[in-house]
Amino acid sequence: MSVSRRTLLLAGGTAATLLPLGGILPAAQAATPSAAGATPAATPIPDLIPVTGTWTRTSDGGQKATAGRRGPALALSEQQLAAKGAYAACVTPQSSSSVGALVFRAALDGSTGYAVALDPGRSRIRLYDLAGGDTLATAPLPGAQAGKPYDLEVAVDGPELTVHVDGKRLLHTEDHRHDTGSVGLLAQDGTVTFGPPSLSSVTTNLTGWTTSGGTWTPSPLGWRAAPAQGATARAITTTKAYDTALQADLLLHDASAIASLLVRTDATATHGYGIQVDADQGRLRLYRIDGNVTLGTYATTIKAGTVYRLRVEAEHDELRVHWQTNFLSPDGYSPVITAQDSTHTKGRLAVTTSAGAVSFENIAAADLATGLQGWTARSGTWTPDLRGIRGENGLRTAPFADGELVARADITPGGPSSSAGLVLRASANGSGGYEARLEAGRNAIVLLDRSSGARLAHASGPVRRIASGGTYRVEARATGRTIEVYVDGVRALKTRVSRTKGAAFGTAAAHGASYFQNVEVHSTADYFTEPYRPTYHYSQLRGSTSDPNGLVYYDGEYHLFHQDQGRWAHAVSTDLVHWQALPIALPWNEYGNCWSGSAIVDADDTSGLFDGGSGLIAYYTSYHPDKPGGNAGVRIAYSKDKGRSWQWHGGSTPAVQNPGGPDAGWTFRDPKVIRDEAHDQWLMAVSGGDHIRFFTSTDLLTWTQVSSFGYGDWATPGVWECPDFFPLPVDGDKDKVKWVLTLSTGAVRATNGSAAQYFTGEWNGTGFTPDQKAGTVLRADSGRDYYAAMSFYGLPDDRRVWLGWMSNWDYPFSAPTGAWNGQLSTPRELTLTATADGVRLAQRPVPELVTLRTSTTTREDLAVGPDSANPLAGVRGVAYEIEAEITLGTATEIGFRLRTDDDRHTTVGYDAEAQELFVDRSASGLSDFTQYFAGRTTAPMKTTGGRVTLRVFVDSSSVEAFGADGQAAVTSLIFPGPDAEGMAFYAKGGTAHVESLKVHRLDSTFRLVDRVKPLVAAPTGGEFRSDLGKLTITPAGRWSTDSAGRAASGAGRAASFDKDSNAISARTAADLDLTTLVRLGGPDPDTGGALSLLWRASSDATDAYCLNIDPDLRVIRLVAKTNGYFDDGAALARVPALVRRGTTYPVRILTEGHRIQVFLNGTRIIDVTDTTYADGHIALNVFGGRAAYQDTYAKEL
């Protein structure tokens, strides 16, 4: 795992890592953020895109809508409204029959959500559900008149919905159906005119806010609190919690201000705990509110106008404070204050300020991770918790109307008699249905009929006891009249039931408290069926899958661990093909992140960790974000229960320290441990960047370095990482054994992004002697997308099987796949073969994959030339395997065009003249999400007697090609459309002979239905209002336009790219007044991105003035970019700001002579002079995600 990878992941954000948020002061000449009250509360929203009806944009930016007889006129914006905010527009129904409505928290297509309608004909306001039209509440509208404009506003605070008309509150109700979604407008029965809609919001996952002691103003730059003279401004939520974490980004507007986060407090904030940020005192102070008892302090420099991130955790009687001050050198992972106090165990959450104004942003508490909306507590007590959601003696439900479903959750029974379960197919109010329940007191798994109380089936824990404090992955599958329950990755129950439908899903807790986390429910039609989702390759339901880690076989199970943002995710299988996901095995801990490593079976308790029995030991790279270079070292975790729970070993001392010492940042990572039977020892290989260090041990705990390999002429381009080291017989001869050292290199262009390489040689117990000369590079897989490959430890029959991460360091996490990212290759069995060029590694897909074959199409004894008919015409598929034996004859090239439609295909073929196997994905499908994706990849491959043998595995988004009995391999990702199912065989330059060609259709290992889920697409067809003229895109990128050249997004000219992409205008200017509306991120909250405005730029935009806005870094920077780069330390101005995703910002850049002024939301934030550039082009930029520009005009002065 490379440093660049770690940097990228840290920048992407994690729940446990406090992100760098611009803690560096602005340059001396930079202006500070706007003064109190200068930032408007509301922000413009992206244009509404018509879904139905007739819509016309008015001169003031509003809309005129006409609904006909076919139904209402609906238009939607990509703007989202979630937990807390307000949405408003002036609504003018043009006739007594016309009805105008605000739409909010709606689905992208408007199929679900809320609408609040102004109906003058009936003199009322009506709030209703879009999905079924159910009326939720009404209120009279006295004196209603057609043609009269009304200022209509809806305010949301969690389930609390309040409607104001002309500033008067007319309606207030509570409804739990929808938590977040798009805003829009709706007209019914005639014509309605709408003024420009606006929105204000607070970014938080907390609800039930009460404010006092001053003014609290939501703005695009945070929730600004200004206390009254001598008072404390408080915002207190009704949300209560026991063990919790509360976090916020904050900016002090006044040096005298004292900002605080409160936990376990009450409705008046007179008891509980607080953490103060006090700039005057230069400290953080943790205190118990009642009695004003100081529990701990931390001295730190705090300055007004700078963004910080503050986090307080309360777990049992321990309180921890984390403080993030810097983004260039991230800090804040370790707590700066730790204290013990048991006075308060539960209470509310709050933010406060006194003696000055403060803006708070992203106020978030630890909570349940779930994709469901509309949760309602039906009974008992439910509170957010560090472990997800804490339920005590009650039921909590969410709407879910599909009876065919897969539900999963990580459940922790809290007490010795606690029971906790998942409720399926319940009625809308939570009654009835079935419960898949864990009973800690009985070590039981039960399927309960909640209507009759009957226990339909029961079993004991299939892997370990069901006990309090243990966390269990529970998965329930309901298909027709059958319900299956899996616990710990093993099917525990399967039974027949009578009820096949329901309206709600739920979580239930009884006999005390239990905890639920990662609750996911999907209809079987939507389960693992998204576009590009692999059919038979491993991928996670959600999350980021990368390096395989700790592959091990133990007691009848294959364990697959892999990286998920510095944690070890986990799945198990009994056949190497079908995998059951388990909870995170190795999470972030007090010593840092758990990066890549390996696992072994300690069968004889060599370590002494297993009380005379056996178990699993994991060796992982411990990476501490606060320390130089992460101070990577090797740490140990072990499991006594077949990998279902893990304990840390060694305390603060790593098993193998960083070679540079406890504070060093030397490259040192990815330990691979194996058994060296020939020398009666254990062996560890660890990457050192340009070398491998070897360590040995006799007790698995104490390790001694014995040698190293690499450095100097041996070092190849890119960082060496993820080593594997193992012996293999040559051609199956156990008397002739070679050792194989594999590694991955990246991320540099010299390796085409990254590469899988290997050496063969001898191991004498202390050192490795390679067969190859220095500088010789052997490729294990020549494809772009095979990285960090790892082999299993302890397979039966001494097989050596490995698999790799299918990605490349040119675009490691850039695949356009949404909530899931990353997939692993097919498992491959490794062998060594003697060739004329020396001993070479060969790999063949494991025979277990044959069990997936469902049907076969065969072609034999065919002559195929350039003009021949396609022998595979009519054969279609998405997931299949090809076995082919082809005699070249006079053909110079043979191959397959796979995953074809009218204009797309991927070619897998053999070039006889070059003697190469190749995969060409130049026309395979989507490729504009990154720069270096499209193209052709080759692997050297010789034939015997002119006969080509190929084996090709094709899936939804990948191709794996093997030739010459596995001596050549090319692995490539592809992203064709779901309808690209065709295939063809061809020959060029002459006639080839098909000896045998078989296409085996392969069954899915995850899906329960044979379909691809259609995407719910946002409406398209917006316009980009600008005078920039034609824009030239460089170096690549997806700048959305429709066929008429109009922007496909209401946000204007929207762009997506994983690196820098520029849209350069042909216009040039010296002095100018540039105005625009900019927007960061996408319609969904998970899409990030930064942007830059460029002016006085060179024709390729490598030299330019650049205004960079980055919400992840919480900073706005003005820089002079040279040769495509800029030095952050040499920025002309740096203005810390609480800019955020999903919000539109008006930006103005006024450049006159040497003077540059920048305005944000109408307030000047930068005023500098500089002489670097005098004139040039204007350009728009996106980096690392999505950004959009609207109303972009450049006036030359």
Predicted confidence band at 11 (pLDDT cuts at 50, 70, 90)?
A: very low
Whether pLDDT at 920 is above 80: yes
Give, in order, the Cα–Cα distances in Å from 479 to each of 28, 403, 410, 764, 1156: 66, 8, 21, 57, 64
Local structure of 1078: helix, strand or coil = strand
Average pLDDT, integer, range 810-824: 94
Cα–Cα dist 765/707, whole Å = 10
Cα–Cα dist 845/347, whole Å = 56
Query: What phi and psi values does residue 122 have, to the nearest 5 degrees?
Result: -105, 5
Domain boundaries, the chain: 46-196, 204-365, 376-526, 547-812, 847-1002, 1031-1196
Instruction: Provide the pairing of β-strand 647-649 with 84-93.
Output: unpaired
Whether pLDDT at 7 is above 80: no
Cα–Cα dist 1087/1080, whole Å = 9
* 413-450 tens-digit pLDDT: 999 999 999 999 999 999 999 999 999 999 999 999 99
Predicted confidence band at 1013 (pLDDT cuts at 50, 70, 90)?
A: confident
Domain covering 847-1002 assigned CATH 2.60.120.560 in the classification: yes
Predicted confidence band at 749 (pLDDT cuts at 50, 70, 90)?
A: confident
What is the percent of the chain with per-residue pLDDT over 90, rounded to a whole number? 90
Q: What is the pLDDT of residue 1016?
A: 67
Burial (CB < 10 A; 0-12, 13-18, 19+), residue 804, is buried
CATH code for the structural domain at 1031-1196: 2.60.120.560
Of 57-61, 327-331, 443-447, 471-475, the poorest mean pLDDT is in 327-331
Whether pLDDT at 736 is above 70: yes
Give, in order, the Cα–Cα distances in Å from 573 to each of 554, 576, 578, 579, 800: 11, 6, 6, 5, 17
* 1110-1149 tens-digit pLDDT: 999 999 999 999 999 998 889 999 999 999 999 999 999 9
Q: What is the pLDDT of residue 40?
A: 53
Whether pLDDT at 32 is above 90: no
Predicted confidence band at 403 (pLDDT cuts at 50, 70, 90)?
A: very high
Tokens at 728, concatenated:
């293999």
Give, in order, the Cα–Cα distances in Å from 812 to each of 716, 825, 933: 20, 15, 11
> How many CA atoms lie within 13 Å of 69's alpha carbon, on the beta-carbon side?
0
Whether pLDDT at 882 is above 50: yes
In the sheet that holds 691-697, the strands lie side by side as: 669-676, 681-687, 691-697, 704-710
Q: Is the peptide bond before 1035 cis (omega within 30 degrees of 0)?
A: yes
Whether pLDDT at 14 is above 80: no
Q: What is the pLDDT of residue 1012?
A: 87
Number of Cβ within 10 Å of residue 1075's Cβ equals: 16
3-state helix/strand/coil string of 343-405: CCCCEEEEEEEECCCEEEEEEEECCCCECCCCCEEEEEEEEEECCEEEEEEEEEEEECCCCCE
What is the percent of the chain with per-residue pLDDT over 70, rounded to a whole number? 96
Q: Is the peptide bond before 747 cis (omega within 30 degrees of 0)?
A: yes
* 552-602 tens-digit pLDDT: 999 999 999 999 999 999 999 999 999 999 999 999 999 999 999 999 999
The mean pLDDT value of the chain amounts to 94
* 955-966 tens-digit pLDDT: 999 999 999 999
Burial (CB < 10 A; 0-12, 13-18, 19+), residue 690, is middle
* Residue 1, beta-bridge partner list: none
* Residue 516, beta-bridge partner list: 389, 411
DSSP states along 996-1048: EEEEEEE--SS-SSS--PPP-PPP------BSS-SEEEES--EE---TTS--S
Q: What is the pLDDT of residue 1083?
A: 84
Domain covering 376-526 assigned CATH 3.40.50.300 in the classification: no
Whether pLDDT at 1045 is above 60: no
CB-based contacts of 759, cutoff 8 Å, min separation 6? 740, 741, 768, 770, 771, 772, 778
Q: What is the pLDDT of residue 103?
A: 99
807 and 825 Cβ atoms separated by less than 8 Å: no
Catalytically active residues are 547
CATH code for the structural domain at 46-196: 2.60.120.560
Average pLDDT, integer, range 84-111: 96
Give, in order, the Cα–Cα distances in Å from 800 to each of 474, 729, 797, 832: 32, 11, 9, 11
Closest to 1197 measured CA to CA, from 1152, 1155, 1159, 1154: 1152
Superfamily designation of domain 547-812: Glycosyl hydrolase domain; family 43 (2.115.10.20)
904 and 977 Cβ atoms separated by less than 8 Å: yes
3-state helix/strand/coil string of 424-471: EEECCCCCCCEEEEEEHHHCEEEEEECCCCCEEEEEECCCCCCCCCCC
Local structure of 11: helix, strand or coil = helix
Residue found by looking up tokens 């009848």 in the block: 556
Cα–Cα dist 1144/8, whole Å = 26
**Are 204-365 and 547-812 in the same CATH fold?**
no
Whether pLDDT at 35 is above 80: no
Give, in order, the Cα–Cα distances in Å from 201 to each of 218, 360, 764: 6, 12, 66
Closest to 313 measured CA to CA, from 236, 223, 241: 241
Average pLDDT, integer, range 611-629: 96
Could you list the beta-strand ranges (E) of 718-868: 719-730, 733-746, 754-763, 768-770, 778-781, 787-791, 801-805, 820-821, 828-835, 838-845, 853-864
Tokens at 662, concatenated:
């406890």
The DSSP secondary-structure symbol of 31 reads P
* 206-240 tens-digit pLDDT: 999 999 999 999 999 999 999 999 999 999 999 99
Please name the helix (run of DSSP H) or strand (run of DSSP E) that holds residue 1058, with its range, or none. Answer: strand 1053-1069
Average pLDDT, integer, range 253-270: 98
Q: What is the pLDDT of residue 1017?
A: 67
pTM of the complete model beyond 0.85: yes
Q: What is the pLDDT of residue 29?
A: 31
Predicted confidence band at 1047 (pLDDT cuts at 50, 70, 90)?
A: low
788 and 547 Cβ atoms separated by less than 8 Å: yes
Total length of the chain: 1197
Nearest 10 degrees: CA dihedral of 1132, 1138, 1144, 1149?
-20
DSSP states along 1092-1122: EEEEEE-TTSSSEEEEEEETTTTEEEEEEEB
Give, in order, the Cα–Cα distances in Å from 452 to each of 381, 449, 923, 1177: 24, 6, 59, 74
Q: What is the pLDDT of residue 200?
A: 96
Q: What is the pLDDT of residue 69?
A: 83
Cα–Cα dist 596/594, whole Å = 7
Whether pLDDT at 329 is above 80: no
Predicted confidence band at 1046 (pLDDT cuts at 50, 70, 90)?
A: low
In the sheet that holds 557-563, the strands lie side by side as: 548-554, 557-563, 568-573, 580-586
CB-based contacts of 580, cutoff 8 Å, min separation 6? 473, 475, 486, 489, 490, 571, 572, 573
Q: What is the pLDDT of residue 484?
A: 98
Could you list the beta-strand ranges (E) of 242-372: 244-252, 258-265, 273-278, 283-288, 293-299, 307-315, 318-324, 337-340, 347-354, 358-365
Cα–Cα dist 1105/1097, whole Å = 7
Cα–Cα dist 283/295, whole Å = 13
Of 669-673, 907-911, 976-980, the poorest mean pLDDT is in 976-980
524 and 1011 Cβ atoms separated by less than 8 Å: no
* 548-563 tens-digit pLDDT: 999 999 999 999 999 9
Cα–Cα dist 284/258, whole Å = 10
Q: Could you tell me which residue, 102 or 1083, shows the higher pLDDT?
A: 102
Sign of CA dihedral 537, 539, 545, 547: negative
Superfamily designation of domain 204-365: Exo-inulinase; domain 1 (2.60.120.560)
